[in-house]
Amino acid sequence: MATIPSFTPKTPKVRVYNNFAGVDFTSDSSQVQLNRSPNCVNMYKDYKSSLGQAIETRPGFINLLELSSEIFGIHFIKTDSLKVIVHTGTKLLLWSNYPSEQEESSMTELYSSMAERKSVSFVYNNKMYINDGTNYIYYDGTTIKAVSEDAFIPTTTIARAPSGGGTLYQPVNVLQPKRKNSFLGNGTDKNYTLDSSGLDSTTVTATINGVDKTEGTDFTVNRSTGVVTFNTAPAAPGTAGQDNVVITFAKTVSDYGTRISKCILSCIFDNRVFFSGNSDFPNALFHSMLNDPTYISDTAYYQDGSDNVSITSLMRVGDSILVIKKDDQQDSVVYYHTPQETKINDETETVYPTKQGLAGVGCISFWGSKNFLDEPVFMSRLGLKSFTKLNLGYERSIEHKSTMVDSKLVNEADLENVHLEQWRGYLLCLINGHIYLADNRQKFVNRGTQQQEYEWYYWDNIGDVVDNVFHKATLLKEYDDNLFFGTENGVVAQFIENRYNDNGRVIYCQWQTPDDSFTSENHLKTTNKRGGIANLKTLPNSVCKLKVKTDKIDETYVTRYVSSGFSFEDFSFIDFAFTTSSKSFMKYKIKQKKWSQISMTFYSDELDKPFGIFSSTLEAFIGGYVKSVNYL
């Protein structure tokens, strides 16, 4: 009697995709790690809602301002109340209805002579100071003025005799041409010689023992020689040795007036403000006097490297200010300035001598650097770079941080216009309406370089659409955990939590798994149609679709699943679900035979339909060997 052999069913191989990390645009999809995606768009990890466990649809945005010219700056100052100023075209407009929508016609115009380029600002002593490469102005919460109008007037000489001499006291202020000389009257001399000749036509003023004297009435001025002649000789002071005659005059020096107004970089450090980015002085670093942004000494500047390579970045790092220049094949691109006490004219002053740092690739953009959660980073022509040590006095190295997105990022057109901003633990790199997000909380060690890098995400279509024409976002601004952007056609928009459309437009989002051979490239596989399941995050109005592709077929639609949680926000019976759990499970039947590699794409292409995914599972039976193919 024949013996019937026992039957042992085939055991499918289980593939689980989880612990998602980010995108990998570096190589062929078949070489991407299973927890990364070779093709992910408009998704990220929301660390506020689920501690970053799920990959989910990015927030959408809404247009708040639709102005007539490109947005070059969004500036915030909070004193007694918050004031928001928008730089659009040549104007500075007060956004009085912030953070709500407002018509341009109802916005107050504060200034009308701005440069049509990005502006930067800083707040000091309850005033906001703005640079745009043409202007250096300030806003006190009411009006805007050129800083030169109220700039500090230094007393350049003290204890001066009518015939000259005295002691040099304060350096000239490049922000305005006025100076003071302080004299010791003697009761006999009428002629008082100033410490400068060739005076401006600006009216000269004087005080004697605190009493104002008027040019043309109480004294005359020879501007070419710099001699002031009083009608009556000023009396000697009541207190012996105490200056009692003060003369204020103006003398313009070529290029002084534009040294700061032409700057487009600023950084507060050591209770001073440092400036750079002046096209006339591309390698110069200027700084203000202590606690006074209206006083820039004519001697308070340093030259870093060759004068034909521009400084493009200023950052405060540890106990120094860090300077990065554009690429230079011959000179260093990194310099740093650490405060140092020194004696000048028997007075102790703080100076910031130049120390040469590293050579290598420089910072490509004036807007392309950031102190990212205590890691100084900058954008180079090769991608994002970072300095590895906070103490600049020690040997340092520059590490690469963007390997996973370099193939897209460094090939973006006009990369020198990249704009960096921080938001919720991400570094956002905006270029051409795309945002590359570096995640500081997810890092990995690059096996080739042994350097620690960030995981990345990628967003697109960041901008405005008018009559089917896309107008890209050109700048980002974070304030109080809110993220705004400005566009080339004058829109200011805000990303809104739990909003899943872009000013009424669909957000297409997807997470694609790598081309997976189930670690058996030499065998054909067949999916187990019962073994597919995805663990989805429950979101209001959530819908997740699935499509699949193999080396035998193009992408094919599989299923659509509703993973909505119950919420009265935007409540609708369409796609209604009673789910109250934070998770839901999407089962799918994938029927594919004799494939070598397979990839799944989870996506949403519907209005206001986000999705989030924690993990997905696929089973496959391993079959016979892949047959060789002969190509003639």
Q: What is the DSSP string of 364-392?
A: --TT-EEEETTEEEEEETTEEEEE--S-T
* Averaged pLDDT of the chain: 92
| DSSP 8-state assignment for residue 408 | H
Check if the beta carbon of residue 418 is closer than 8 Å to that of residue 313. no
d(CA 323, CA 311): 7
The predicted structure's pLDDT at residue 19: 95
CA atoms within 13 A on the CB side of 248: 15
Task: Please check the confidence at residue 381 and state whether its pLDDT lies above 80.
Answer: yes
Which pLDDT value is given to residue 299? 94
Check residue 330 and give its pLDDT.
76
Buried b (16+ CB within 10 A) or exposed e, 68-90: ebbbbbbbbbeeeeebbbbbbbe
Task: For residue 392, count other CB atoms closer than 10 A to its CB.
Answer: 21
Q: Is residue 394 over pLDDT 90?
A: no
- For the segment 283-318, what is each residue's pLDDT rounded down to a tens digit? 999 999 999 999 999 999 999 998 889 999 999 998
Q: Domains of the chain: which residue ranges?
A: 13-53+507-625, 155-250
Report the alpha-carbon angle 98-100-105, nearest 5.
80
End-to-end CA distance of the chain: 54
Q: CA–CA separation, 206 vs 459, rounded Å?
A: 63
Where does the pLDDT of residue 263 fall: very low under 50, low under 70, confident under 90, or very high at 90 and above?
Answer: very high
pLDDT over 50 at 7, yes or no = no
pTM over 0.85: yes
C-alpha 492, offset from chain centre: 16
**Confidence at residue 360, expressed as pLDDT on a 0 to 100 scale:** 79
| Mean pLDDT, residues 255-269 taken together | 97
**Burial of residue 520 (number of CB atoms within 10 Å: 0-12, 13-18, 19+):** middle
Using DSSP bridges, classify how beta strands 284-287 and 272-276 pair: parallel, antiparallel or unpaired: antiparallel
Count the helix, strand and coil residues of the chain and give each as a percent rounded to the nearest 5.
5, 45, 50
Looking at residue 234, what DSSP letter applies?
Answer: P
DSSP string, 1-69: -PPPPPP-PPPPEEEEE-S--EE--SS-GGGS-TTEESS-BSEE--HHHHTT-SEEEPPEEEEEEE-SS
**How sure is the predictor about 414, in pLDDT bands with cuts at 50, 70 and 90?**
very high
CA 425 to chain CA centroid, nearest Å: 13
Amino acid 58 reads R
Q: In sequence order, which residues have a C-beta less than 8 Å from that of residue 417 and are 6 or more positions away?
A: 365, 367, 431, 474
> What pLDDT is stored for residue 566 in this prediction?
47
> Which residue carries 């490109």 as its tokens?
70
pLDDT digits (tens, 9 = 90+) for 444-456: 999 988 999 999 9
What 8-state DSSP symbol labels residue 461?
Answer: -
- Assess contact for 314 and 322: CB atoms under 8 A: yes
The pLDDT score that the predictor gives to residue 238 is: 86
What is the rounded CA–CA span in Å between residue 231 and residue 208?
13
Mean pLDDT of 213-240: 96
Spatial distance between the Cα atoms of 258 and 264, rounded to a whole number of angstroms: 12
Structure tokens at 411: 């090939």
Q: Tell the residue number behind the tokens 């991608």, with chain if given.
A: 383
Residue 397 predicted with pLDDT over 90 = no
CA gap 215, 229 in Å, rounded: 10
Q: Which helix (H) or strand (E) holds 445?
A: strand 434-445
Statement: residue 345 has pLDDT above 70:
no
3 state DSSP class of 407 = helix
pLDDT tens digit sequence for 526-547:
999 888 999 999 999 999 999 9
* DSSP reduced 3-state for 214: strand
Residue partners of 431: CB distance under 8 A and separation at least 6: 409, 412, 414, 415, 417, 418, 419
Q: Where are the beta strands (DSSP E) in 119-189?
A: 120-124, 127-131, 136-139, 144-146, 155-160, 167-168, 178-183
The pLDDT assigned to 368 comes to 97
Measured in residues, the chain has a length of 632
- Where is 547: in which H helix or E strand? strand 543-550
Query: Which residues face 617 on adjacent strands?
Result: 16, 533
- Strands (E) across 452-508 are located at 452-459, 463-466, 469-479, 482-487, 491-496
Residue 584, CB half-sphere, CA atoms under 13 Å: how many?
21
pLDDT digits (tens, 9 = 90+) for 457-504: 999 999 999 999 999 999 999 999 999 999 999 999 999 999 999 999
What class, spelled out in words, does domain 13-53+507-625 have in CATH? Answer: mainly beta
User: Using CA atoms, how far apart are residues 264 and 289, in angstroms rounded to an integer?
Assistant: 19
Q: Are 185 and 244 in contact (CB under 8 A)?
A: yes
Q: How far apart, in Å, are the Cα atoms of 631 and each of 523, 597, 628? A: 20, 21, 10
